[in-house]
């Protein structure tokens, strides 16, 4: 409803509409509530058409508790008619999951970017390179998308991330779905070598 008409207002307040006086909708404010009857919690104001709410706010001070509740509900219903309720999306679950890394037959002294692409939000917590492959490689960088995650460009022996390494946890930026999570590695051996490893982290759905 656009406004509360005289009949409805009269029914709620148990009063009779007036044809004159200081009124925004045919209802003298002096007849509904005196100057001392206004208080912050009794003035129900909206963003737009303030005339009705000023009259109704004054009416609330003098009306019976039942009329007051009806008026508040009427105003609230009008204000919320076209409202939208927005609630934050709650994660269904978070599980510790591995993401594999593989690049075969990397040439001697060659540098290769090895990527994996999680399909959910993913928080990498550890990089693990098995000792069998780690001895042949150094780690030059870790990237989320095209953003480096390491504080220095100095290569790190991949053996620091072997399965037996202690305190090898990492805390990287959370990877959005379909964004590459990559390691940049260099083959430091004298022959072609395979690189295999895995990230371990929380997958959030």
Residue-level pLDDT at 100: 95
Question: End of a domain among 80, 114, 129?
Answer: 80
Residue-level pLDDT at 92: 63
How many CA within 13 A on the CB side of residue 173? Answer: 16
Is residue 87 a part of any domain in this protein? Answer: no
Question: Do 106 and 12 sit in the same domain of this protein?
Answer: no
Question: Do 26 and 120 sit in the same domain of this protein?
Answer: no
Residue-level pLDDT at 4: 52
Is residue 143 a part of any domain in this protein? Answer: yes
**Structural domain span for residue 62:** 6-80
Question: Do 61 and 131 sit in the same domain of this protein?
Answer: no
Question: Do 200 and 127 sit in the same domain of this protein?
Answer: yes
**Beta-strand (E) ranges in the chain?**
94-106, 111-116, 121-128, 137-144, 147-148, 156-157, 181-187, 193-204
Percent over 90 (pLDDT), the chain: 46
Question: Do 121 and 57 sit in the same domain of this protein?
Answer: no
Residue-level pLDDT at 75: 73
Angular region, 189: left φ>0, alpha ψ -120 to 50, beta rest: beta
Question: Do 23 and 113 sit in the same domain of this protein?
Answer: no
Question: Do 179 and 99 sit in the same domain of this protein?
Answer: yes
Cα distance between the two ends of the chain: 43
Encoded tokens for 57: 């706010």
Question: End of a domain among 31, 58, 80?
Answer: 80
Residue-level pLDDT at 49: 47
Question: Do 114 and 191 sit in the same domain of this protein?
Answer: yes
CATH number of the domain within which 133 lies: 2.60.120
Is residue 109 a part of any domain in this protein? Answer: yes
Residue-level pLDDT at 116: 95
Residue-level pLDDT at 85: 65
Question: End of a domain among 80, 104, 123?
Answer: 80
Residue-level pLDDT at 190: 96
Question: Do 44 and 73 sit in the same domain of this protein?
Answer: yes
Question: Do 11 and 98 sit in the same domain of this protein?
Answer: no
Residue-level pLDDT at 27: 43
Give every residue of the chain whose pLDDT is below 50, as ranges.
1-2, 16-50
Residue-level pLDDT at 9: 55
Question: Do 101 and 47 sit in the same domain of this protein?
Answer: no
Residue-level pLDDT at 33: 41
Is residue 181 a part of any domain in this protein? Answer: yes
Is residue 86 a part of any domain in this protein? Answer: no
Question: Do 123 and 162 sit in the same domain of this protein?
Answer: yes
**What SS3 class is residue 41?**
helix
Total count of domains within the chain: 2
Is residue 89 a part of any domain in this protein? Answer: no
Is residue 137 a part of any domain in this protein? Answer: yes
């Amino acid at each position: 409803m656009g406004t509360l008409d005289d009949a409805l207002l009269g029914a709620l307040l148990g009063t009779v509409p007036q044809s004159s006086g200081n009124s925004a909708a045919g209802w003298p404010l002096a007849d509904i509530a005196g100057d001392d009857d206004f208080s912050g919690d009794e003035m129900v104001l909206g963003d737009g058409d303030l005339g009705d709410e000023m009259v109704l706010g004054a009416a609330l001070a003098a009306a019976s508790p039942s009329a007051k509740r009806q008026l508040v509900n009427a105003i609230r219903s009008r204000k919320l008619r076209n409202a939208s309720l927005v609630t934050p999306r709650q994660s269904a679950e978070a599980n510790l999951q591995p993401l594999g890394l593989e690049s075969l037959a990397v040439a001697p002294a060659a540098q290769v970017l090895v990527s994996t692409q999680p399909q959910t939000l993913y928080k990498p917590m550890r990089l693990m390179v098995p000792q069998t492959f780690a001895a042949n490689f150094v780690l030059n960088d870790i990237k989320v998308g095209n953003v480096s995650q390491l504080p220095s460009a100095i290569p790190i022996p991949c053996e620091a991330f072997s399965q037996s390494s202690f305190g090898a946890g990492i805390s990287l930026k959370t990877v959005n779905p379909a964004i590459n999570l990559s390691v940049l590695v260099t083959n430091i051996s004298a022959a072609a070598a395979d690189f295999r490893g895995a990230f371990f982290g929380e997958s959030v759905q």
